[in-house]
Chains A and B, each alone.
Chain A
């Protein structure tokens, strides 16, 4: 067999791969999209490992997507001199993370728990699945997985096309091949790429295009309406989840405090029909107030502070980057000194 056949083919392969991937990268840079990090279990685990850093210089945040958008980590660092470890996970309850931190005898830090009632007071498997998976991955990640994460970080920080959620083969197929589905198939609507980009610190932010484009905002608003009307995918719970969640929170918070850790709660802004729906289904007096009372905690509810009460979320649920900066400043003023002063 001619030995040169594969050598020539290999050279052609190398040239074509460089040309195609290089062109794709250049095209994406030309579109002006900012760099985005895959917000998966690997990045989450990297941050999870930082909860043991000096509690005098580190504050840990858990919650759903709102605190990921609303906490501007650069502003936080600049004003407090402290690190912000962002462990919130989009579209899920932070309860598995809170329980994990409660059971982790090495965790003695400062913890901010953000409450998005529809997700927080929810025991559905769909809301718990992702954080459970992330916690399990963190606990069992292998040395090889850690090394791969570091190498991936080197590449991901330099190459725009390495963005699984937006530019992977499947993401592209999903975006470009629109086929009608059979009646009865559950189809979750797509979020626009510009809605949520992620930094290496796991902060989410809307692009300038999203903030300016009301069509994109309406697209996301329609997703919230769809979720509100579909009422989740799981069957109705047999037992009211609120008391169960409250007991679970109380238990975890007591464990953390018993070790010298501190816990506070926040309720980040929402607006429009989303806010109205939340107030109706999850009234403050039945959710937020008992939560603080049962855990003997202080909390920062955005509507209580004139600096944050007026915020309007572009898509009713998350703040724009400029408002996130303002919200972060207000949050720093409201949190106990031990959470915001660097020792």
Chain B
């Protein structure tokens, strides 16, 4: 089920009513759990079995990991969990990819081997819920949090429908405490939730699907050499589309959860206003980058084992982060390019730090900046967000000013970062390296005699939406959407909200899947 569908609207109304009826807390949790299974099964019912398997295995293994004192047995249990989770992910997501690469390798060695093509369907959200359950068992192994008391709470933690299919990727301390005490949304939470749901749907339906998807598809699917203008319009359209699509999903998810009284962590903080690549990763898909930091980068040694090892750990993390997005070498290249950017940034930052006794503020690397786990956690009693400590570096660039960031300092860096990120999206969106090369060639002016592809109106749409996107991101880079909604006069918030909902209704885009469903 997708948020931008009539089915979801009907489903959500029913769930809201059920959740506010005077049932016991346990009954309400069972309702939510069953609703989450319906939400998932509405896509492809048989895959619910995988979800059950993952839930049950990790619940019991997690409990055993926490109580087990024998080191060897403990390691054995962790291996069972890792094999179970990663094995499932590898089979469904990377099975065909691994086989293809194996065949290529064998053929390179001179052997003729052509196996039947496996017909594997990727279960929706498998990458997301696998990471959710994995972090639980790893935390249990390290005793970094306590085991979830009941299978019901654990199942709901894994399956809770707002985050199930495309995140935000939640950690047990962020969500489990919220299941321990009865909760329904306060009026304030309900209003904020509905507001965020409207914003998220507007981003997905009107902007991603309605304005940007067609030009992006036209350019990336074109087999012809394109003029630079078309190629840039297509790549910028995709940069906007992927943001509005994924941030739109996360905003919907946070809004939906809030309407039920639950708080999910922020997943995006105006990433295209980032003034460095490390800043970008503090703002883009925050729950994934913090997951990779805590469960991959730091266990690899982080920045504690010398400069060269830090570079290596950084690259491994980014490459695997790229592979997480899809079983294709183009995603690995996307991650690798980001790794390369972070290398360059770190190199200059280190040089600057050496030359200056003052701490450098704008190019601190997100991954090495953290030596411990952080994140957005939730108070079990108040439901308020307890924000992760903002890194010292980020605080320095946060001006003490009004809600809108009107300073121009850092803007050239933000535009440079956007430009660099835009280049990486070409690898992310292109199906093959040839296609990516083709488009990059066109973007950088090596396309003599190319026929123009896009009509003027779609190009105007791309231009207007992308410029407005960058302006909005820059103005709001130090704040949150709900803060803006509160700080504006109520009638202005109401007008903006109306405009979004009217355009949402009028756009009539069909209920297309979110891009991140395939990851």
Contact = CB atoms under 8 A, between A and B. Distances in A.
Interface of A: 1-13, 16-17, 20-21, 24, 40, 42, 142-145, 147-148, 151-152, 155, 161-164, 167-170, 172-174, 177, 179-187
A147 B511 CA distance: 12
Contacts of B456: 179-182, 185
B508 interface: yes
Given A9-B497, A145-B511, A3 B188 contact: yes
Contact of B6 (A5, A16, A148, A181): A148
Pairs of residues from A and B, 4 with the lowest C-beta to C-beta distance, nearest first:
A12-B494, A144-B42, A9-B494, A151-B6
B234 to A, nearest CB: 14
Interface string B479-505: 000010110001101110110011101
Nearest to B460: A179
A116 to B, nearest CB: 27
The DSSP consensus for interface residues of chain B is helix
Contacts of B501: 13, 17
The DSSP consensus for interface residues of chain A is helix
Nearest to A170: B210
A148 B454 contact: no
Contacts of A17: 498, 501-502, 505
Nearest to B194: A10
Contacts of B505: 17, 21
B55 to A, nearest CB: 21
B210 A10 contact: no
A322 to B, nearest CB: 32
Nearest to B124: A142
A236 to B, nearest CB: 16
A12 B502 contact: no
Contact of B457 (A10, A16, A20, A179): A179
A22 to B, nearest CB: 11
B507 interface: yes
B7 A147 contact: yes
A8 B486 contact: no
A14 to B, nearest CB: 8
A13 B506 contact: no
A6 B485 contact: yes
A179 B459 CA distance: 11
A170 B195 contact: no
B158 interface: no
B454 A164 contact: no
A152 B9 CA distance: 12
Contact of B485 (A9, A40, A143, A145): A9
Most chain A beta carbons < 10 A, residue from B206, B455, B461, B485 = B455
Contact of A6 (B42, B192, B451, B455): B192
A181 B451 CA distance: 13
